Amino acid sequence: MPSITEQVGRVIGGRFRLLAPIGSGASSQVFAAVDTRLQRRVAVKVLHPSLANDHAFLRRFRAEARLAASLDHPHVMRVFDWGEEEAGPFLVLELLTGGSLRALLDKGAKLSHAQTAALGSEAAAGLAYAHRRGIIHRDIKPGNLLFDEDGHVRIADFGVARAIAQASLTEPLGVMFGTARYASPEQAKGTPLDDRTDVYSLALVLYEALTGQVPFSAETVSGTLMARIDRTIPPARELGPLAPILAAAAIPEPLARLDAAGLADELSQLERQLPQRAPLPLVHADLGPGASMWADRDATDLDPGHVLAGHTAVLQAVDLERADAPMPHDELVDDLTVMGLAAAEAVPAVDGELTPMSAQVATPPARHVPAAEGHAEDSESPGGVVGSGDHRGLRPQRRRRGRLIAAVALVIALLAGGAVAAFLQLRVTGDLVPSVDHQPVGMARAMLQTAGLKFRIGAKKYDGHVPSGDVLSQSLPAGRRVKAGTVVIVIESLGPAPVAVPDVKGLPQLLARRLIAVAHLRAIPELVYSETVHPGHVISESPLPSSKRVPRGSPVILYISRGPHPRIVPPLQGVPLQTAEKDLAKIGLVGKQAPNGQYSTTVPAGDVVAQDPAARLSVKRGTTVLLTVSLGKPYVKVPPLFGLSVKKAESALSAAGLAYQLVGVGGQHGFVYATSPSSGQSVREGTTVVLYIV
């Protein structure tokens, strides 16, 4: 691979000029670059040149690059472009300058609970987004968690990890196992992966961020991989409130594990309960020479010696469940080549066993046995005497023995000839048994009938690995030549055995989902209101635990309590205080009188004049409604009216909110000489004042 300094200044893809190195790894080099067409700063990841000649890798790389470029999420690194050159395939990515989690941990930093919860919830949200689109990362590690300037995380290398993993033969020795400490148990076993493998790896990354240590790490690759099979992560005091969440995310059984969306939800809820987090101590990018913002290195990088030392144990860990079963030839060769070892060329023998091609069966050369001393080789003489010396007395015995040997030899020859003829006849006219294992039953029937053989289903059995309706096994091994019309009996798979639905009623949602997953079922939470069940706990489930067993993978709907139904606050203005309090209690709300009353010209004293929350608002059960009680009409003072004309007195009383009544001989044209109540006295608004007129 060209050195980093040789790459600087080069334009790749006709538009991306490499400006400065910002990281390197065994499989790639990363550069800060400029898009000369759009004039924007980008990052360019150039993969190893050997991959450019791997056509199978290039096909995978193109497909994975298209998928990665389709991802658009705030916590997934964006892929702007991709291409291929002689120097190697490349990806054009967004340029992030906040460094990586690997660089942060290499400085000796440990994250707080709040920082880890925030980081984990963002990364899990990015994984959940990709998983919903059918994309699995397969290589989650601190070096692939990058930060922007504000400390928000982005997941890098979506798609590339899978393509490189499948091209491991062209990779430098040891790259395949460079991040073994973050691999899931199913990766260690070599079993098929689903999206929960990323969740397990993320859990180990968060464990390291909190404690500074990665659980299960060993000196060799095999030791690292074997250490986590069927083991839960060890407890640590530093985990604090994250301990149960990380334990649920790192359960060895994938189906029992939290998925990415569930992990994001759990961490997000915890983050809201924790004190506000301090900013991350980011290792900001230095785009000068020697910068290592994206150093694709983990503490798990192993040298070739470690890899070779671990090959034997890793081969043993490939499939622990079938360790005693003979491994098919193709699988054996594939597993050996994936481990970087050469597999001997092998061909199946007639009996189905593997026979190395190098083991040639040769007929030993004929040996010349010289005649014994004193005996000449037989020659026929005119007198009928054979050899020399007097052997006439032995002739009849030798002749009888010769005839007997000849007869036996003839019988053996006839028997052998018949057997050979029968064998040759079978070889010439017999039919080869096709392989119908793992084929649908209908397809298996057609394949056997096409080969001139008869098909029969012998039994049906449950199997957790072969789908229902497929052939589980066949009575005659594939490749054997048999007579036309031979019956081949197959065992049909019924799929995984049905399982019982566990009873999770009343349990917290997280624990209930875990138990459902352990039972090999899929939990589907549905939030509903409940007046009796605590929020976040299971109200009921469907199907019910008492139901008959259900197929593996079946959905189980968990009805999760959202708490009580919301209450609508009733209108209470003008209602007596005690009546209002009783009405609120009937619907689960609490009425409380406000400390201060309020005057009102419309609401009688002692009735509710105002309320908070207002009428017709939706509130939670148990909410307190503050009730303001009317003090009745406000008090005003009788204005001074002595000596005023009736007209002016009426005007003054109206302005004060008081009514009046005329008494006296003066009538409308008289003057006020007295009032009742008297001037300056406080009275309720609306009170009638008597005017005495002269």
Q: Where are the alpha helices (DSSP H) in 77-175?
A: 101-106, 113-132, 160-165
DSSP letter at 169 equals G
Q: What are the structure tokens assigned to 228, written together?
A: 């986590």
Q: Residue 608: what are its φ and ψ, rounded to 5°? A: -75, 125
474 occurs within a structural domain: yes
- Do residues 127 and 185 both lie within one domain? yes
The arithmetic mean of pLDDT across residues 55-81, rounded, is 86
- Do residues 162 and 311 both lie within one domain? yes
Contacts of 352 (CB under 8 A, 6+ apart): 477, 479, 480
255 occurs within a structural domain: yes
Q: Provide DSSP, 514-529.
A: HHHHHTT-EEEEEEE-
pLDDT of residue 158: 82
Element of type H or E holding 657:
none
42 occurs within a structural domain: no
Q: Provide DSSP, 435-460.
A: P-TTSBHHHHHHHHHHTT-EEEEEEE
- Do residues 605 and 654 both lie within one domain? no
In this prediction the pTM is 0.46
Domain containing 474 equals 432-490
Q: Are 630 and 605 in contact (CB under 8 A)?
A: yes
Number of helical H runs and strand E runs in the chain: 18, 29
31 occurs within a structural domain: no
Q: Which range is most confident: 189-198, 311-320, 379-388, 564-573? A: 564-573
Q: What are the structure tokens assigned to 568, written together?
A: 């609508």
- Do residues 270 and 211 both lie within one domain? yes
333 occurs within a structural domain: no
pLDDT of residue 85: 84
- Do residues 186 and 254 both lie within one domain? yes
- CA distance linking residue 184 with residue 191, whole number of Å: 10
- CA distance linking residue 456 with residue 411, whole number of Å: 41
- Do residues 287 and 193 both lie within one domain? yes
- Do residues 679 and 656 both lie within one domain? yes
* Number of domains forming the structure of the chain: 5
The arithmetic mean of pLDDT across residues 145-159, rounded, is 90
Percent of the chain at pLDDT above 70?
Answer: 75
- Do residues 193 and 290 both lie within one domain? yes
Q: Which band of pLDDT confidence, cut at 50, 70 and 90, is reported for residue 88?
A: confident
Task: Render pLDDT for 577-595 as a digit per residue (tens, 0 to 9).
Answer: 999 999 999 999 999 999 9
Q: What are the structure tokens assigned to 497, written together?
A: 């055995």
The arithmetic mean of pLDDT across residues 363-368, rounded, is 40
Phi-psi category of 157—alpha, beta or left, where left has phi over 0 and alpha has psi -120 to 50? left
- Do residues 144 and 204 both lie within one domain? yes
The arithmetic mean of pLDDT across residues 28-52, rounded, is 88
- Do residues 599 and 689 both lie within one domain? no
Q: Which range is most confident: 38-52, 283-297, 351-365, 593-607? A: 593-607
The arithmetic mean of pLDDT across residues 511-523, rounded, is 87
Is 194 in the active site? no
Sign of the C-alpha dihedral computed for residues 379, 381, 385 and 388 taken in this order = negative
**Closest of 627, 586, 592 to residue 608, by C-alpha:** 627
DSSP letter at 580 equals H
413 occurs within a structural domain: no
User: Which residue among the candidates 139, 157, 298, 301 is catalytic per the annotation?
Assistant: 139
- Do residues 204 and 215 both lie within one domain? yes
Task: Render pLDDT for 165-186 as a digit per residue (tens, 0 to 9).
Answer: 555 433 333 333 336 789 999 8
pLDDT of residue 287: 55
18 occurs within a structural domain: no
537, pLDDT greater than 70: yes
Task: Give the residue, 59 or 15, on which the prediction is more confident.
Answer: 15
642 occurs within a structural domain: yes
Q: Which of 16-20, 196-200, 283-287, 593-597 has the lowest mean pLDDT?
A: 283-287
What CATH code is carried by the domain that includes residue 555? 3.30.10.20
pLDDT of residue 161: 63
What CATH code is carried by the domain that includes residue 106? 1.10.510.10
Q: What Rg, from alpha-carbon coordinates, does the chain have?
A: 45
pLDDT of residue 409: 58
User: Vertex 131, ends 128 and 135: CA angle to 5°?
Assistant: 140
- Do residues 234 and 117 both lie within one domain? yes
Residues recorded for the chain = 694
